Structure 1
């Protein structure tokens, strides 16, 4: 190699080496810079997060509303009311338990007011050693930074203790002061507006008259307004026009039917006994009484007392005895080979759990086997309440065709003279209705170890949860005493629980979202002062349900439109603050009853035996042992068109369309339905014969109408089904859809309407099949609109 080439080679090698070294150096610097940048970003985000956490902390920490929910969720499993699972002798569900000295020398404290350094709770929740960390790593529970800061600030501020909010004796709060004194119709609005002003939100405008009358009609009667009622309300310019609508609805017979709908699920009403063979029972006269009681506006305290202990009232009337059927709605078995005592115990358990959930809003059943893990309900208190229902002479297993005792026989004469509200058909001479009747002393009341019927333990007295209200000697030791305890002026739960369910009926969600749980694991009230104000008012006004519902309906809060703005969607997606009207799917019964009502098919007959409308064939046969109710035979005539309240309810196979729209199974007490949205719901609306028949009847109605204008026909259908008139854009789209259906009919060369749709209908000869099919499809489309099945 020539010398110059060698020099050139080394020169190039040197340059490449320098370049590579420079590149490596640059990459290292860039990596360091990127790492520093990421570190700075992380630190910045951490600082922002810490800052945000501190900004979110309430100015004043409330034990009941801020601290207790954290302790209940993350600590009560090991340090709560259940003595059997409690660890380290520490409990956070009582004041004494949280402040008790710990350790061998009794020189340590879990929570020492004002002293973070000597509060073991703070050391443990921030511990880096996993053996000391609380909650323990293997518990799958984790405290957020916000929750840690809440506990820290609580101790810093003196660790003030307070009892659970729902166990406090009711006191009527004063009305809050608000800035916007021009908005609001009554006291409800003051409480709602105060919260909105704190959150820097303003109420929505009032809904249109069409939407208002539709909303309140469904809420108070479960039925839509007629077009005549809508037009009358629109044309009524008086200042109390809406109040007149409310009064008319509350005084209608349909009101009692609407209120009875919810009570059927509270009472777990059904037309069969349940379990495998699921034979028929007769309880519909009791349902007639419920409708009658609501229509007569029987005060809530009497309404409950008669159902819990009507038979024990001095000189009880037959009506009061019939009312006691409430506690005989539980399941009863007819299966051979069962252990009689085992099932009898289950019936008493059911009555205990139902009463606790319906009137106290507590999950009492959790204390069947041990002390409640979250609420101050001991196992002894559970069986103390169980005792009130344990003196009934009843069998655990009944024979086929046997009427479970005790019962009363109601014949035609008795009903006409003493129970005229019971709608007994002429074809039925008498009915036997299950009721309550104790035989005191027939058995001792004992704790059942682990909840087992064959493991009786110590004897327990008649008693009720001490933390709610002590059961003193002033009450009689029977179900009448239990009823009096519920309506003692110092009982903190009865009024709150019922008012919350009435609010749930009118607004979709209760002030306490968990209507079935007012305990430590339940939701906190969004407006606690409002709940207490309404509850005290309910008591002061004589437990008047109609008055309470009217107060809610007249509020400006109730009358807001339901439009969701971007701001409300971001700040309050679930509408907990009530800055707009409620929007949710109508109950299953209302969806079906709406179709029957607007089509004119609805038979407005009150009470009587249950009926069997359309149902898919073969459902009953596939779920029986071959004995009893094996075949569902649909009614003919008016039985197909009665309100859904009267639909025959077989426990093992409830009406499928009702279940699809979230109705409860009625195996046990239910005070709050699920809210779901599934494709099955759309399939019901499109294919259920009841909806197809209603759509066909509506099509016949508009085609028989003298109005020749197509848009008038469309407008008439639209208004009947949705309670409002369509705009021009909607009319054009619906007209376009109608033409598409006509064209589809021609292309398919269809000559006749499906006989399964019109077999029960008289179709006038002058109506063309093509037009009937097109308008039927249009009506079916309108039944499927979100607006039709949703309270907006």
Structure 2
């Protein structure tokens, strides 16, 4: 028996060993086959290696630099070594004399870099790349994102009849280089659903479906795009990503988490996007509308953008500590949201990877340091705490006139926190380790030199900062926003790390396309709707999302865009789709946030017990059917139905949402009162039409899934309806149709309603329903 046991253990050992060796052979074989480029690029081949493996000890951060060696700057890297003046880290053309190459390739673990203790290791391919780069002269380049973008000529392509606009030339050229072919255009029904969700966040109506399907003209799709861009829902859809970026919420945050009234600023964002305010003005007004000559009330309201941060209302805090945190928040938002760099890393020390010093961080910080605010102004309480100074009170007359885009439903006092500086500027100091009470050297407002030195002609205030952002020589602003908008329509940016264009960020998949779009966007007056139309009318966007095996194997992440992306729509738009398709949606734009159905006790279990938001008081009537973006966000207890689908809790600037897939999401779609209520309401309306069952189900399918069902799908759903109709007991049916507050229609047979309601609920639970494909 023991002999037999030893035999099987021996066999298992041999199998594991063989498998390990097999994996090792395969891996090394692949590494060996990986080809080196003819011309090694510092930007695209070498810097990513150095940034990952070397810059932590030999990069911009002087305090963490080892052996006095700095490898991110050419003049430093070519110097004689501090510890051995006879040697040099790099010797152009001579790898064997370059200590960098000698130390990364030595078999001696005591000398090898990176050190064994760091758990970092260069692959043989990376070592070969560095060797070839040194042989070719070890030429340094400025980081690609800090070079001013240039509009290159459209590349030549073989499949010249495929492109619809300039975007497609760049995409197709890359595909042809990789031996790919683009996918055919999506069918009309799926394409319409895709573009309607992308431009309005809502499914297309049956009328729009029929209009598009019956229009045979080559301009049919473009006409639909123009129609959707004019729809007021466009402003709501495009505003959502900006609300994430601007960390908009309906509460102050922290422990007490009192109510705030920043929603008029949200109304302005929707209004500005719908009227297509140029992006340079859109941002300038939000950064410095109060500093513009003869600033209007609308421009001052726009500055609520930088008052959306968390604010404490707790007694016993140190006011200066929190005031500094507010200024820091604005500085970090500027870096991540508008500049696409991780400036916050330089708050406590020089940036470890990017050429940003701690001093430069506080020079940016200085632009926001003179806001006329306090760390704590008032403790949680009545309406006077709904906004903090500096604030703007909006009169009913203004809502009827110059600010008529504000949806103010009552006559109560309405106040919004906005920007406003002190008469005398606060002095700004570098804070040792970022501590509020450890000032060191005084600094003046300024910008990182590696990006673009601040023009002395600009005023040293937030208006000057906005001018700097939109200076034609600023390499980041246009690239960053174009990338953010691309992400909205393709699921991920041309630069995957949307908030990090620095050394540790991903390289652009299509650098020439990114730069072409950035320059084109700037040349055409920062026109957002024009940019959006360019993206959605491209052949690249119109492709089918069907995955072909050869593409899936060669490019699983769809980097080369040989098919349309396929992913779940945002949390708020899932709610919108359900409400819209059922006919429940309240389409009014703007106004205060609402409190729809929510499990009992969530707020009460996580509250200090003070203030308007200490208990959850659900809204009723039409407020229950507002779009998802109007759901009240309490930062300490964000809406669970939205959070489960990866919505932001709006604590900090967020430029990219997660895309998770969890069982909780299925449970929400199966049990959420809004989904069940919508299923009942749509089933009721279908029953009242008096059409055959198959027609009812076909209509429900088109409203929800946005295409005509196949015969097999229709038969399956019809059989399901008949089965449910037979097995449902009266009491079960009665309980099922009682969900939600929308009134039950009279004279509708309960069992038939419950059975059809289950069919509709099944349609809402299809993956295809909430997936953009």
What TM-score do you get using the length of structure 1 for normalisation?
Answer: 0.93
Counterpart position of 1:687? 671
**Could you tell me which of 473, 484, 490 is aligned with 1:501?**
484
Shift of 1:154: 1.2
Of residues 714-723 and 91-100 in structure 1, the stretch that sits farther from structure 2 once superposed is 91-100
**Residues 305-704 of structure 1: pairs in structure 2 closer than 5 A:** 305-399=284-378, 400-401=380-381, 402=385, 403-425=387-409, 427-628=410-611, 629-704=613-688
Instruction: Give the direction of change, closer, same or farther, for the CA distance of 1:293–1:482 in structure 2 (3 Å limit).
Output: same
2:403 and 2:731 map into 1 onto residues whose CA distance is 58
Question: SS in structure 2 opposite 1:573?
Answer: coil
Instruction: Output one character per residue of 1:482-503: Cα deviation in whole Å (capped at 9) or x when no partner.
Output: 0000000000000000000110
**Could you tell me which of 728, 746, 761 is aligned with 2:743?**
761
Question: SS in structure 1 opposite 2:739?
Answer: helix
2:260 and 2:38 map into 1 onto residues whose CA distance is 58
2:24 and 2:157 map into 1 onto residues whose CA distance is 38
1:104 and 1:609 map into 2 onto residues whose CA distance is 65
Shift of 1:109: 1.6
Counterpart position of 1:95? 74
Shift of 1:314: 0.8
2:637 and 2:99 map into 1 onto residues whose CA distance is 55
Shift of 1:768: 2.2
Question: SS in structure 1 opposite 2:504?
Answer: coil
Instruction: Give the direction of change, closer, same or farther, for the CA distance of 1:776–1:150 in structure 2 (3 Å limit).
Output: same
C-alpha contact 1:368 1:382 (8 A) present in aligned 2: yes
C-alpha contact 1:359 1:494 (8 A) present in aligned 2: yes
User: 1:117 and 2:117 equivalent?
Assistant: no
Shift of 1:631: 1.2
Alignment gaps of 5+ in structure 2: 1-13
2:468 and 2:564 map into 1 onto residues whose CA distance is 37
Instruction: Give the direction of change, closer, same or farther, for the CA distance of 1:75–1:768 in structure 2 (3 Å limit).
Output: same
Of residues 97-106 and 681-690 in structure 1, the stretch that sits farther from structure 2 once superposed is 97-106
Shift of 1:389: 0.3
Shift of 1:442: 4.2
**Could you tell me which of 700, 710, 725 is aligned with 1:742?**
725
Paired positions, count = 751
Counterpart position of 1:6? none
Instruction: Give the direction of change, closer, same or farther, for the CA distance of 1:423–1:736 in structure 2 (3 Å limit).
Output: same
Specify the structure having the higher radius of gyration (Cα): 1
Shift of 1:770: 1.7
Instruction: Output one character per residue of 1:704-749: Cα deviation in whole Å (capped at 9) or x when no partner.
Output: 12212x2212111111101100101111221232233224314x86
1:49 and 1:196 map into 2 onto residues whose CA distance is 27
C-alpha contact 2:484 2:498 (8 A) present in aligned 1: yes
User: 1:136 and 2:118 equivalent?
Assistant: no
Counterpart position of 1:21? none
Of residues 661-670 and 152-161 in structure 1, the stretch that sits farther from structure 2 once superposed is 152-161
2:111 and 2:22 map into 1 onto residues whose CA distance is 27
C-alpha contact 2:92 2:138 (8 A) present in aligned 1: yes
C-alpha contact 1:116 1:152 (8 A) present in aligned 2: yes
Counterpart position of 2:52? 73
CA RMSD of aligned residues (A): 1.8
**Could you tell me which of 130, 145, 148 is aligned with 1:151?**
130
C-alpha contact 1:383 1:447 (8 A) present in aligned 2: yes
Instruction: Output one character per residue of 1:373-394: Cα deviation in whole Å (capped at 9) or x when no partner.
Output: 1111110000000000000121
C-alpha contact 2:34 2:125 (8 A) present in aligned 1: no
2:89 and 2:425 map into 1 onto residues whose CA distance is 49
1:584 and 1:739 map into 2 onto residues whose CA distance is 33
Instruction: Give the direction of change, closer, same or farther, for the CA distance of 1:452–1:749 in structure 2 (3 Å limit).
Output: closer
**Residues 771-782 of structure 1: pairs in structure 2 closer than 5 A:** 771-782=752-763
Counterpart position of 1:209? 188
Shift of 1:240: 0.7
Of residues 402-411 and 601-610 in structure 1, the stretch that sits farther from structure 2 once superposed is 402-411
C-alpha contact 1:54 1:149 (8 A) present in aligned 2: no
C-alpha contact 2:680 2:737 (8 A) present in aligned 1: no
2:84 and 2:688 map into 1 onto residues whose CA distance is 93
Shift of 1:271: 0.9
Instruction: Give the direction of change, closer, same or farther, for the CA distance of 1:390–1:43 in structure 2 (3 Å limit).
Output: closer
C-alpha contact 1:411 1:429 (8 A) present in aligned 2: no
Shift of 1:45: 8.1
Instruction: Output one character per residue of 1:544-583: Cα deviation in whole Å (capped at 9) or x when no partner.
Output: 0000000011100000000111111111111110000111
Instruction: Output one character per residue of 1:622-655: Cα deviation in whole Å (capped at 9) or x when no partner.
Output: 1111111211111111100111111111111111
2:716 and 2:26 map into 1 onto residues whose CA distance is 55
Counterpart position of 1:3? none
2:38 and 2:718 map into 1 onto residues whose CA distance is 59
Counterpart position of 1:64? 43
1:527 and 1:375 map into 2 onto residues whose CA distance is 22
Shift of 1:242: 0.6
2:337 and 2:396 map into 1 onto residues whose CA distance is 33
Shift of 1:755: 6.1
Instruction: Output one character per residue of 1:512-545: Cα deviation in whole Å (capped at 9) or x when no partner.
Output: 0110111111111000000000000000000000
Instruction: Give the direction of change, closer, same or farther, for the CA distance of 1:607–1:148 in structure 2 (3 Å limit).
Output: same
Question: SS in structure 2 opposite 1:557?
Answer: helix
2:46 and 2:404 map into 1 onto residues whose CA distance is 55
C-alpha contact 2:673 2:740 (8 A) present in aligned 1: no
1:642 and 1:46 map into 2 onto residues whose CA distance is 59
Shift of 1:43: 12
Counterpart position of 2:7? none
**Could you tell me which of 711, 714, 724 is aligned with 2:697?**
714
C-alpha contact 1:753 1:769 (8 A) present in aligned 2: no
Shift of 1:762: 2.2
Instruction: Give the direction of change, closer, same or farther, for the CA distance of 1:214–1:48 in structure 2 (3 Å limit).
Output: closer
Question: SS in structure 2 opposite 1:447?
Answer: strand
Counterpart position of 1:7? none
